[in-house]
């Protein structure tokens, strides 16, 4: 049956596949995606029922991996079903686990990202059960690659409790794998994704740079294409647009040289999103159309939908509402909205952009409120998973230290039994070992105490401005709202946005943009009272929470901030500049049934009106219930 499925794609001959030929996949000549595909095609054509089952299954593994890499994952399910049947009949649980993993990976790239994770977890559990101890697995390279694949899938969807233990196990397996030095690229790649999830941008980019050096040393063009794409995505996630465009352009150049179809498509989509973020809509549209063309030819469901999402956003920005709606409908036809929270948020942003483009203020506010609701759901889920993963990361580290201490103690005891030395000598050894152990335990305690303090500060503090992070300030708003409701006291919030913030970045660079944010925070801190709270909730958007403050006092504070910012000058790239702010204010007595989230949404709506009214001003949400 399996040979029949293979013959559905290629014509089999009577030639036989050998282990030597399969091992070619791990030689430098076949490091590029095109060469891998060529080798898989040639070996599949040599399959016949006379070939040993394990060679058939490893050939199918090579073919499936190559097809997934070129965006043809949708065509593989029949092949996996037949391969799993052959592995089951042969009693080959190791290769059965491999096929189940590849089937889950194919589902992932076919747009079923969230649904594929449980199947991938089962495949990992099956592979780990092959041996009593993972480090004694009969094929460490197979287990290593399955683990790193699974880690990347987990981090693409969301952080998971298994991410860190799997990464640690992969690190232990690395020295046991074939070509361990080259395989370290996988670990750098996975560590980069984890560090990015922790918000440690510099550490993530350092891992990607290390991976790039190794891939360059081995002339591994397949990995270089992947690394350039990861760099483009990381820079884009951090709003480093120029850097993202450079990385995506490098990926595009190498993809064209290697004729790597999937990388061509991915680089086009990165460039579309980067130019859209840079407000260059014409260029963004050109790249998005190109990405759609590539992904449609590849039949890659996951990215086919995303290319249409990008086109919907761009067309909304250009005012082509009919086209925007058409592309959005096509995106949802290709990939259902509820496949993941990340996809729901991307679609919701497109809906908001379309609503704003129509000029219907009510529709825009409703769409923005729904977008904020989904963003908060995703933020809550991401924050929980991030906290769990951070705890697991540090927990694993603590366990490693403990194991090392225990191992050191066991080694000392064994040495004591083996060597026939004087009692005085051994007493001295015991005293020295005890002292060292106490010092080590003391050092570990200090390390863990400092780490816990650093972790708390990292989660609650915005790394650039030093004010509260988005999660922390929203939590504070909720707590103060609860207090205000308990004491029947007023509460006010003010959402502040820097006018023409993009101009600072475009004219002077991102360093000056960062300086503008710092100057803005300095001005706001000087204008608010000691009992007020300040946090950063977006790129250039800040939130002030004012407990026991009525509408009049809140408006006075907001106007004071806007005027102070206007009169505050600083050096921006060699010229004296000032800051202009738009602010939205809302105030209420929580006892009247309003929620903290609704109060912030009203202030956000007032900010939108301030922007539309000409910026550099304060607008009050005068229709809020229960104004003080």
pLDDT tier, 520 (very low <50, low <70, confident <90, very high otherwise)? very high
What is the rounded distance in angstroms from the CA atom of residue 490 to the CA atom of residue 103?
57
> What distance in Å separates the CA atoms of residue 165 and residue 148, rounded to the nearest whole number?
11
b/e per residue, 122-160, with b = 16+ CB within 10 A?
ebbebbbebeeebeebebbbbbbbbbbbbbbbbbebbbb
Pairing, β 569-572 against β 575-578 = antiparallel
pLDDT tens, residue by residue, 269-318: 889 888 888 888 899 899 999 988 888 887 667 788 888 999 988 888 88
Residue 215's contacts (CB-CB under 8 Å, 6 or more residues apart) are: 185, 223, 224, 227
The CATH class of 470-620 is alpha beta
Tell me: domain 200-299, CATH 3.90.180.10, correct?
A: no
Instruction: State what percent of residues in the chain have pLDDT above 70.
Output: 81
Mean pLDDT of 141-164: 79
Which part of the chain is CATH 1.25.40.10? 200-299
| Cα→Cα distances 180→32, 66, 145, 187, Å | 18, 21, 11, 11
CA dist., res. 226 & res. 230, Å (int): 6
Give residue for tokens 């097809």: 67
444 pLDDT more than 70: no
User: What pLDDT, on the 0 to 100 scale, is given for residue 498?
Assistant: 92
Question: Which residues partner with 544 through β-bridges?
Answer: 494, 534
The band of 237, judged by pLDDT with boundaries at 50, 70 and 90, is: confident
User: Per-residue pLDDT tens for 205-225?
Assistant: 888 899 899 988 888 888 888
Mean pLDDT on 361-389 = 73
Q: For 329-359, what is each residue's pLDDT tens digit?
A: 998 888 887 777 778 888 888 888 888 888 8
- Of 493 and 230, the structure prediction assigns the larger pLDDT to 493
Average pLDDT, stretch 33-43?
A: 80
* Confidence class for position 527, pLDDT limits 50, 70, 90: very high
328, pLDDT greater than 80: yes
How far is 198 from 382, CA to CA, in rounded Å? Answer: 10
- 29-33, 257-261, 601-605: range with lowest mean pLDDT: 29-33
Average pLDDT, the chain: 80
Q: Please tell me the distance from the alpha carbon of residue 43 to that of residue 221, in angstroms, as a whole number.
A: 22
DSSP 91: T
96 or 426: which leads in pLDDT: 96
| Residue 401 CB neighbours (<10 A) | 16
CA angle 316, 235, 69 (to 5 degrees): 85
Q: Which residues contact 32 (CB under 8 A, 6 or more apart)?
A: 221, 222, 258, 260
496 or 66: which carries more pLDDT confidence? 496
Percent share of the chain, pLDDT over 90:
18
Give the chain's radius of gyration (CA, Å): 29
CA–centroid distance for 309 within its chain: 18
Q: Does the pLDDT of residue 6 top 70, yes or no?
A: no
**What's residue 620's pLDDT?**
93
Contact status, residue 338 vs residue 344, Cβ threshold 8 Å: yes
Q: Taking the CB of residue 478, how many other CB atoms lie within 10 A of it?
A: 15
* Residue range 583-601: mean pLDDT, rounded: 84
CA distance 594 to 26: 63
> CA 114 to CA 28: how far, in whole Å?
34
Confidence of residue 586 (pLDDT cuts 50, 70, 90): very high
Determine the 3-state secondary structure of 92 from DSSP: coil
More confident residue, 98 or 428: 98
Greater pLDDT, 125 or 511:
125
- Residue 623: per-residue pLDDT: 46
DSSP sequence for 269-287: HHHHHHHHHTT-HHHHHHH
Q: Which two tokens stand for residue 604?
A: 């956000």
Q: Where in the chain is the domain with CATH 3.30.70.270?
A: 470-620
């Amino acid at each position: 049956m399996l040979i029949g499925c293979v013959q559905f794609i290629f014509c089999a001959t009577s030639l036989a596949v050998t282990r030597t030929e399969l091992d070619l996949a791990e030689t430098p000549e076949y490091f590029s995606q095109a060469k891998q595909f060529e080798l898989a095609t040639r070996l599949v054509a040599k399959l016949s029922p006379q070939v040993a089952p394990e060679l058939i299954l490893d050939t199918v593994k090579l073919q499936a991996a190559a097809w997934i890499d070129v965006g043809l994952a949708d065509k593989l399910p029949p092949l996996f079903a037949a391969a799993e049947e052959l592995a089951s009949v042969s009693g080959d649980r190791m290769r059965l686990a491999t096929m189940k993993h590849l089937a889950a990976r194919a589902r992932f790239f076919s747009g079923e990202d969230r649904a594929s994770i449980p199947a991938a977890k089962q495949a990992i559990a099956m592979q780990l059960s092959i041996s009593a101890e993972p480090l004694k697995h009969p094929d460490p390279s197979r287990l290593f690659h399955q683990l790193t694949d699974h880690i990347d899938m987990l981090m693409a969807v969301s952080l998971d409790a298994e991410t860190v233990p799997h990464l640690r196990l992969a690190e232990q397996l690395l020295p046991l794998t074939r070509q361990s030095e080259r395989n370290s690229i996988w670990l750098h790649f996975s560590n980069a994704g984890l560090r990015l999830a922790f918000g440690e941008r510099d550490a993530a980019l350092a891992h990607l740079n290390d991976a790039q050096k190794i891939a360059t040393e081995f002339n591994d063009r397949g990995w270089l294409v992947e690394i350039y794409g990861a760099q483009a995505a990381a820079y884009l996630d951090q709003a480093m647009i120029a850097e993202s465009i450079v990385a995506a352009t490098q990926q595009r150049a190498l993809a064209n040289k290697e004729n790597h179809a999937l990388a061509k498509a991915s680089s086009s989509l990165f460039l579309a999103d980067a130019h859209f973020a840079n407000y260059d809509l014409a260029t963004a549209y050109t790249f998005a159309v190109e990405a759609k063309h590539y992904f449609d030819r590849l039949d890659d469901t996951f990215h086919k939908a995303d290319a249409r999402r990008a086109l919907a956003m761009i067309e909304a920005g250009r005012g082509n509402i009919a086209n925007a709606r058409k592309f959005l409908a096509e995106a949802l036809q290709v990939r259902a909205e509820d496949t993941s929270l990340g996809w729901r948020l991307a679609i919701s942003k497109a809906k908001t952009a379309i609503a704003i483009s129509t000029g219907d203020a009510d529709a825009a506010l409703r769409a923005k409120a729904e977008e904020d609701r989904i963003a908060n759901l995703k933020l809550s889920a991401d924050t929980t998973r991030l906290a769990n993963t951070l705890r697991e990361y540090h927990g694993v580290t603590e366990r490693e230290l403990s194991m090392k201490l225990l191992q050191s103690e066991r080694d000392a005891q064994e040495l004591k039994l083996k060597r026939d030395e004087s009692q005085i000598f051994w007493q001295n050894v015991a005293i020295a070992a005890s002292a060292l152990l106490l010092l080590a335990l003391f050092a570990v305690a200090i390390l863990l105490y400092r780490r816990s303090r650093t972790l708390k500060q990292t989660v609650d503090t915005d790394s650039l401005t030093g004010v509260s992070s988005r999660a922390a300030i929203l939590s504070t708003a909720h707590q103060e709202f609860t207090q205000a409701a308990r004491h029947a006291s007023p509460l006010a919030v003010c959402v502040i946005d820097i006018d023409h913030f993009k101009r600072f970045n475009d004219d002077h660079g991102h360093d000056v943009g960062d300086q503008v944010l710092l100057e803005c925070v300095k001005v706001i801190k000087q204008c608010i009272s000691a009992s007020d709270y300040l946090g950063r909730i977006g790129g250039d958007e800040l939130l002030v929470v004012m407990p026991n403050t009525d509408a009049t006092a809140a408006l006075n504070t907001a106007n004071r901030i806007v005027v102070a910012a206007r009169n505050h000058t600083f050096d921006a790239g060699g010229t004296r500049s000032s800051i202009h702010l738009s602010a939205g204010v809302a105030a209420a007595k929580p006892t009247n049934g309003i929620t903290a989230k609704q109060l912030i949404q009203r202030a956000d709506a007032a900010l939108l009106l301030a922007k539309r009214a000409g910026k550099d001003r304060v607008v009050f949400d005068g229709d809020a219930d229960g104004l003080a």
